């Protein structure tokens, strides 16, 4: 069976599963993801490139699809029919940007969400330190590619640090490693905190279709960015921005202090 026949079967199954819950639809999308990964790694002809663009569109990946389609149109000499076909798809993709927050699902492959990630500890040599007037601005070097928070991979440039000018750097690194280890083992603590404070959290957004948290909810979380500040008391303050897949990818923040959750609230502007 060639890749186009596989796509037609996967698309048919996906459409069937989409009539159920988001969980069943996500499971039903797995075959589409497999084809997507295969195409992304291969040298594609014109038809295979268009197939990949269609998969991005089917999965609700509007940003990836728009970028891919525009790049293809600008980088290839297309005949009239292919030009029309690609521009028609681009128009459909741009329509996705007009949909409201609860109208578009950007499907994700969650098969690896339960896999335990054990990152190496950060060393002093893994950081870049820049002294400014009032603070030390700290970042993780690009070649350290194993930033794991909440047992989820986070891009290095989405993790930012600042510290007081007189901070003990050795203590800062120890606190940072301790905090990272805590977040990678605190999924039950986060679920309990969420459920214990559910009504207050609900009031910050007004609508949570999934209801109270469980392991499935946790597996769907995606850490978008994190900012840390090492304060005068030598405590590590954290502000996480997280997207909640099972609540229509709504964004929320978690405020932390060392190894404790201070506050959790949704942000309707995300």
């292919």: which residue's tokens? 82
* pLDDT for 100: 78
- Judged on CB neighbours under 10 Å (0-12, 13-18, 19+), 131 is exposed
Selected from 1.10.8, 1.25.40, 3.30.230, 1.10.3470, the CATH number assigned to the domain covering 3-96 reads 1.25.40
Question: What digits encode the pLDDT tens for the residues 120-132?
Answer: 899 999 999 999 9
Domain extent listing, the chain: 3-96, 124-266
pLDDT of 28-78, one tens digit each? 999 999 999 999 999 999 999 999 999 999 999 999 999 999 999 998 888
* One-character DSSP codes across 20-67: S-HHHHHHHTHHHHHHHHHHHHS---HHHHHHHHHHHHHTT-HHHHHH
Residue-wise pLDDT for 211-258, tens only, equals: 999 999 999 999 999 999 999 999 999 999 999 999 988 899 999 999
pLDDT digits (tens, 9 = 90+) for 126-176: 999 999 988 999 999 988 877 899 999 898 889 999 999 889 999 999 999
């Amino acid at each position: 069976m060639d890749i186009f026949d596989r796509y037609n079967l996967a698309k048919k199954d996906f459409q069937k599963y989409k009539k159920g819950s988001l969980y069943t639809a996500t499971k039903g999308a797995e075959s589409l993801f497999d084809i997507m990964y295969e195409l992304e790694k291969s040298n594609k002809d014109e038809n295979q490139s268009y197939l990949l663009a269609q998969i991005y569109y089917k999965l609700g990946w509007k940003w990836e699809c728009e970028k891919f389609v525009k790049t293809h149109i600008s980088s290839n000499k297309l005949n009239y029919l292919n030009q029309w076909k690609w521009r028609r798809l681009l128009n459909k993709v741009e329509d996705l940007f007009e949909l409201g927050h609860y109208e578009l699902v950007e499907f994700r492959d969650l098969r690896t969400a339960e896999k335990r990630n054990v990152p190496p500890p950060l060393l002093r040599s893994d950081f870049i330190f820049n002294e400014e007037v009032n603070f030390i601005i700290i970042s993780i070097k690009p070649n350290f590619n194993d930033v794991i928070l909440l047992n989820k991979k986070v891009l290095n440039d989405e993790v930012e640090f600042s510290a007081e000018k007189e901070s003990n750097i050795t203590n800062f690194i120890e606190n940072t490693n301790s905090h990272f280890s805590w977040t990678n083992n605190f999924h039950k603590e986060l679920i309990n905190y969420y459920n214990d404070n559910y009504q207050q959290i609900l009031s910050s957004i007004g609508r949570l279709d999934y209801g109270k948290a469980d392991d499935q909810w946790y597996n769907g979380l995606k850490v978008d960015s994190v900012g840390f500040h090492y304060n005068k008391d030598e405590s590590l303050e954290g502000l996480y921005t997280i997207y909640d897949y099972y609540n229509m990818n709504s964004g929320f923040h978690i405020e932390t202090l060392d190894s404790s959750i201070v506050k959790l609230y949704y942000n309707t502007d995300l």
